[in-house]
């Protein structure tokens, strides 16, 4: 993650949570009182968020020392220590909640992504996310997908052209839509077309789309449609695919499967901070 962008976002989160001061901690502890703590995994999963911990506590106080024992993407068991902290108690407690909230969610996303990749293991399919992310958290959630072994789809709307059903209906046809945007684009931007039938797949191929998505199609339907696509055009399956059905798509022939559930239906991992006052 970009460090400047990360620190900007963390500052915003801390301002929202702390406001003027951590009233409880400032009343209970002296400003120079030192504490040591451990970040602990309370359940099994994939960790994501090392940079959040380092940059987050550093923003709160440069006196907080952080030592990590694992790296992003590591598979951890219950009770394992992620990192040890040492620094002013008041400062550690000020940053605790925001940092835990972020790394719990990110680690949950990384864990679900890792599980998804295992379900298609042995194929050449790559699992990718969508733009169904939490507003304000996209950078964190997309990074977590990568920690879990997935790849990112568009980060933003300007990351590529995706011609979907509403675009096609309003513009008249796939061919006209692709031709229109191709004339306005430079050579570095790819065009993806969402398809729901063999006729639409053929139209997207004729229009020279860079990527063809099979939307809400069964594995057997995709197997037939993918045969219509030349090797130089990338293929993606999306829509209606869940972790329960993902393995059924393992041999459907696409290169990518995108899952909105990776970011919109994830449960955060249980991670805690155990703090002792010196």
Among residues 54, 97, 131, 190, the one annotated as catalytic is 97
**Which 3 state secondary structure label does DSSP give 211?**
strand
Identify whether 244 is a catalytic site residue: no
Identify whether 30 is a catalytic site residue: no
Q: Residue 278: is its pLDDT beyond 90?
A: no
Portion of the chain with pLDDT greater than 90, in percent: 94
Q: Residue 29: is its pLDDT beyond 90?
A: yes
Phi, psi dihedrals of residue 78, rounded to the nearest 5°: -60, 135
| pTM of this structure | 0.95
Q: Per-residue pLDDT tens for 75-104?
A: 999 999 999 999 999 999 999 999 999 999
Among residues 7, 38, 138, 164, the one annotated as catalytic is 164
Identify whether 164 is a catalytic site residue: yes
Burial (Cβ within 10 Å: 0-12, 13-18, ≥19) of residue 171: middle
Q: CATH assignment of 3-116+266-277?
A: 3.90.1170.20
Identify whether 97 is a catalytic site residue: yes
* pLDDT top residue among 41 and 172: 41
Among residues 146, 194, 217, 236, the one annotated as catalytic is 194
Among residues 63, 80, 196, 215, the one annotated as catalytic is 215
**Where in the chain are all domains bearing CATH 3.20.20.70?**
119-264
**Where in the chain are all domains bearing CATH 3.90.1170.20?**
3-116+266-277
* DSSP sequence for 51-97: HHHHHHHHHH-TT-EEEESS-TT-EE-TT-EEEEEEEEHHHHHHHHH
Is residue 52 very low, low, confident or very high in pLDDT (cuts 50, 70, 90)?
very high
* Per-residue pLDDT at 8: 97
Helix boundaries (H) for the chain: 3-18, 23-28, 50-60, 89-119, 138-147, 165-171, 174-184, 198-206, 219-226, 261-264
Q: Per-residue pLDDT tens for 224-257?
A: 999 999 999 999 999 999 999 999 999 999 999 9
Identify whether 221 is a catalytic site residue: no
Q: Which fold has domain 119-264?
A: TIM Barrel (3.20.20)
Among residues 131, 132, 223, 250, the one annotated as catalytic is 132
| Residue 141 · residue 129 · CB < 8 Å | yes
């Amino acid at each position: 993650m970009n460090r400047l962008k990360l620190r900007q976002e963390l500052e915003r989160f801390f301002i929202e949570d702390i406001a003027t001061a951590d009233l409880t901690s400032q009343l209970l502890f002296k400003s120079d009182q030192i504490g040591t703590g451990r970040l602990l995994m309370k359940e099994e999963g994939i960790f994501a968020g090392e940079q959040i911990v380092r940059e987050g506590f550093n923003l709160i106080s440069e006196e907080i020392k952080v030592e990590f024992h694992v790296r992003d993407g590591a598979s951890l068991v219950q009770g394992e220590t992620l990192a040890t902290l040492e620094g002013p108690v008041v400062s550690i407690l000020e940053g605790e909640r925001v940092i835990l909230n972020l790394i719990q969610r990110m680690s949950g996303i990384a864990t679900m992504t890792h599980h998804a990749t295992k379900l298609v293991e042995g194929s050449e399919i790559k699992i990718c996310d969508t733009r169904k992310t939490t507003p304000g958290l996209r950078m964190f959630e997309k990074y977590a997908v990568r920690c879990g072994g997935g790849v990112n789809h568009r980060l933003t709307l300007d990351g590529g052209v995706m011609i979907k059903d509403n675009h096609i209906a309003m513009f008249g046809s796939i061919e006209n839509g692709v031709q229109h945007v191709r004339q306005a684009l430079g050579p570095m931007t790819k065009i993806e077309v969402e398809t729901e039938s063999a006729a639409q797949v053929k139209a997207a191929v004729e229009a020279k789309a860079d990527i063809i998505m099979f939307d809400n199609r069964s594995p057997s339907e995709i197997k037939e449609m993918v045969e219509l696509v030349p090797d130089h055009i990338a293929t993606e399956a999306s829509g209606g695919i869940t972790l329960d059905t993902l393995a059924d798509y393992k041999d459907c022939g696409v290169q990518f499967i995108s899952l909105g559930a990776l970011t919109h239906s994830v449960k955060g991992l249980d991670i805690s901070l155990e703090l002792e006052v010196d």
